[in-house]
């Protein structure tokens, strides 16, 4: 899925916006992975999601139980990343192999606008 296809990532004006939109793209990819899980029987105990950090060259996987992923997706401003990929964001939850970060300011705004589960998306 490219930025053009998602409609995200166009008309980027600041690096902050670019980073926020990169995260949104990874989040959309993870939502597709999440939906695919519903078709698998039995479901995997831990699902390989993509690190949602703003680094577009990062393609590392985070294996998470689905309920953990769902808990993160319940908040439009939250993203799941690998430890060390927090990018200066506020860490709201942390496990051995994952971190949940929360975006504020302009990045939080974009995160809400691009939330695939939100009304604005």
- Name the residues that contact Zn ion, by CB under 5 A: 51, 53, 58, 85
CB of 107 to Zn ion, least distance (A): 16
CB of 78 to Zn ion, least distance (A): 15
How many CB atoms lie under 10 A from the CB of residue 47?
Answer: 20
Q: Which 3 state secondary structure label does DSSP give 39?
A: coil
CB of 39 to Zn ion, least distance (A): 27
Minimum CB distance to Zn ion smaller for 12 or for 58? 58
Minimum CB distance to Zn ion smaller for 53 or for 64? 53
Minimum CB distance to Zn ion smaller for 43 or for 48? 48
Q: For residues 78 and 31, what is the distance between their CA atoms, to the nearest angstrom?
A: 14
Q: Minimal CA–CA distance to 16: which of 116, 94, 106? A: 106
Q: What angle do CA 29, 30, 34 make, to 5 degrees?
A: 125
């Amino acid at each position: 899925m490219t930025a053009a296809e998602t409609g995200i990532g166009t008309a980027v004006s600041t690096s902050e916006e670019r980073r926020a939109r990169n995260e949104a793209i990874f989040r959309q990819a993870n939502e597709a992975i999440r939906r695919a899980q519903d078709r698998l029987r039995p479901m995997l105990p831990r699902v390989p999601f993509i690190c949602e950090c703003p680094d577009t060259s990062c393609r590392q996987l985070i294996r998470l139980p689905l309920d953990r992923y769902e808990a993160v997706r319940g908040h439009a401003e939250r993203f799941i990343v690998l430890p060390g990929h927090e990018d200066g964001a506020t860490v709201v939850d942390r496990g051995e192999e994952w971190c949940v970060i929360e975006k504020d300011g302009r990045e939080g705004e974009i995160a809400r606008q691009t939330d695939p589960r939100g009304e604005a998306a």
